[in-house]
Amino acid sequence: MLYDLTVVQFSKMLNNLNHILDKAEAFAALKKIDMAVLLNFRLAPDQFNLIRQVQIACDTAKIGVARLTGHMDSVPTHDDNETTLEELRQRITSVLNYLEGFSEADFGHAEKVHVSQPRWGSKYLTGYEFAIEHAIPNFYFHITTAYAILRHNGVDVGKKDYLGAIPYKVPLI
């Protein structure tokens, strides 16, 4: 289940984020707004701007999966120097490509692996705790904040853009 909650669902949401950014680009063109205004917008003076929200959503996805599967050695690095929409798209694509390399089989030990991060010192979480209480809530936080920044600025995005396609089934008669 951790594979579906992270690799599959993070990929879906990053694609939804791409779609939301497409809408922002179309809105900026229509309103003759410099896209940099939206990319640098923040909801509070001491909160990260849209560029940083996208960067952290990407990092939460790639690092979360790398730590759960014990693949920190292969995680792609990014220099956090994106300034344009095109560069943000490249970063999202890079993470999507990375996630695509994982399968359910990589998660055999994910629930029990000890996960740590440099700023936690010697402290750790089990993979199960890390996924449920840290990576997943953090990931949705940054996707939603990116969405909120654009919605606040007038971009016509709604819940369907955030959730993406839902695999509704029709009962057999």
What is the binding site for a copy of itself (CB under 8 A)?
1-2, 4-5, 9, 12-13, 43-44, 47, 114, 120, 122-126, 128-129, 132-134, 136-138, 140-141, 144-145, 147-148, 151-152, 154, 159, 162-164, 166-171
- Of 23 and 151, which has the nearer Cβ to a copy of itself? 151
Rounded to the nearest whole angstrom, what is the least distance from the CB of residue 116 to a copy of itself in the complex? 9
How far is Cα 135 from Cα 141, in angstroms, rounded to an integer?
Answer: 10
How far is Cα 10 from Cα 130, in angstroms, rounded to an integer?
Answer: 15
How far is Cα 38 from Cα 108, in angstroms, rounded to an integer?
Answer: 41
How far is Cα 171 from Cα 7, in angstroms, rounded to an integer?
Answer: 29
- Of 74 and 152, which has the nearer Cβ to a copy of itself? 152
Rounded to the nearest whole angstrom, what is the least distance from the CB of residue 155 to a copy of itself in the complex? 9
- Of 105 and 166, which has the nearer Cβ to a copy of itself? 166
The CA-based dihedral angle spanning residues 40, 143, 48, 100, taken in that order and rounded to the nearest 10 degrees: -90
Distance from chain centroid for Cα 22: 16
- Of 72 and 84, which has the nearer Cβ to a copy of itself? 72
Beta-carbon count within 10 A of 27 CB? 18
Rounded to the nearest whole angstrom, what is the least distance from the CB of residue 133 to a copy of itself in the complex? 6
Rounded to the nearest whole angstrom, what is the least distance from the CB of residue 7 to a copy of itself in the complex? 12
